[in-house]
Amino acid sequence: MPSTRLSQRSSRSTSASRSKAQQLPKDLLSIADIPRKKIDDLIALAKKLKAAHGKSRPSFPLKGKTLGLIFEKPSTRTRVSFEAGMNQLGGQALFLDAEKIQLSRGESLADTAHVLSRYVDGLVVRTFDQSALEEWAQHTSIPVINGLTDHCHPCQALADILTIVEKKGRVKGLKLAYIGDGNNITHSLLEIGAKVGMHVSVGCPPGYEPDRNIVKQARAEGAQTGARIEITHDPMVAAKNADAVYTDVWISMGQEDEHQARMAAFARYQVNSRLMKQAKPRAIVLHCLPAHRGEEITAEILDGPQSVVLDQAENRLHIQKAILLQWLGK
């Protein structure tokens, strides 16, 4: 009998641990925090919301809830998609310019976080350091969603996967080539690619590689899902037989003083017709926008038939609504 009870307790403990591992975390700080199954759930929910958008009688599952947005960086897609998404779900959004609240006059982040937890039901934070985002999460009792940091951009990566699924029918086993800087977008693409079984090949200049720890973790995750993670300094190798080709600006917010050095370093990492010949004939082109035509991508490619950047941008709205429902609809 004792051994049977021990076995039952062990079984319940294992089941509880597995259930906990599949639960959403309190906050959405990075793709690494989201269980694989929950990524599938978010994509499925976003597809459902998109299909219903403007076609059925609206429901307001977040009626009476308020979302705060604290942005230390400029934004178009992230801000508008979260505000519009919250409104469409029946809630309201409050934009809080970091320069116009008491944070700018020396109030501690902790005090601000504690107070806002009493006022709103969730926060989207767009900031520089990932550590600052983590501090917001530490001091709030409400969900904190990463609206972009220098380290990662999880909401964008989720919209990217939604777009690839729409255009290709699946992501598992496909190859995504990312050409350019090993930046926050790259990090989230590596993390999500590894989780969903999509091969990710990054073509970047020497010295601009993605974070080694993220690459290591993505390779470990990919070993379980069948995803291959490749980092190369040859953009043509990265683009070879790709199902999707992705790029981003060469100079991100806060890097303006590096303009001359970066323009020289990235000169041969442009997504153009020559590079696209390396990819599969029906490869799609993605860009998280804003884009600089003639720099990281040519106008011919960005505005051409293989480009899905406007669908990708629209999908920020639908994935944001899915995120809001999952994190604020509890």
Shared-domain flag, residues 89 and 222: no
Residues 102-142: tens digit of each pLDDT: 888 889 999 999 999 999 999 999 999 999 999 999 999 99
How is residue 99 annotated by DSSP? G
Which structure tokens are listed for 56?
């059925």
pTM above 0.75, yes or no: yes
pLDDT in the model for residue 126: 97
**Could you tell me if 323 and 249 lie in one domain?**
no
How many domains, the chain?
2
For the residues 48-54, what does the mean pLDDT come to? 93
- Position 10, amino acid: S
* Domain-embedded: residue 91: yes
Q: Is 240 found in the same domain as 194?
A: yes
Q: What is the pLDDT of residue 7?
A: 42
Provide the annotated active-site residues: 126, 153, 156, 248, 288, 316
Report the distance separating Cα 239 and Cα 113, nearest Å: 44
List the Cα angle 264/269/270 in 5-degree steps.
105
Check residue 17 and give its pLDDT.
Answer: 43
Instruction: Please indicate, yes or no, whether residues 304 and 189 belong to a single structural domain of this protein.
Output: yes
Whether residue 67 lies inside any domain: the answer is yes
**Can you point out the beta strands (E) in 135-235?**
144-146, 175-179, 199-203, 229-232
**Closest listed residue to residue 157, CA positions, set 29, 302, 293, 25:** 29
> Looking at the structure, do residues 208 and 128 belong to the same domain, yes or no?
no
Domain that holds residue 167: 154-313
Same domain flag for 145 and 44: yes
Statement to judge: residues 253 and 285 lie in one domain: yes
| Position 137, amino acid | A
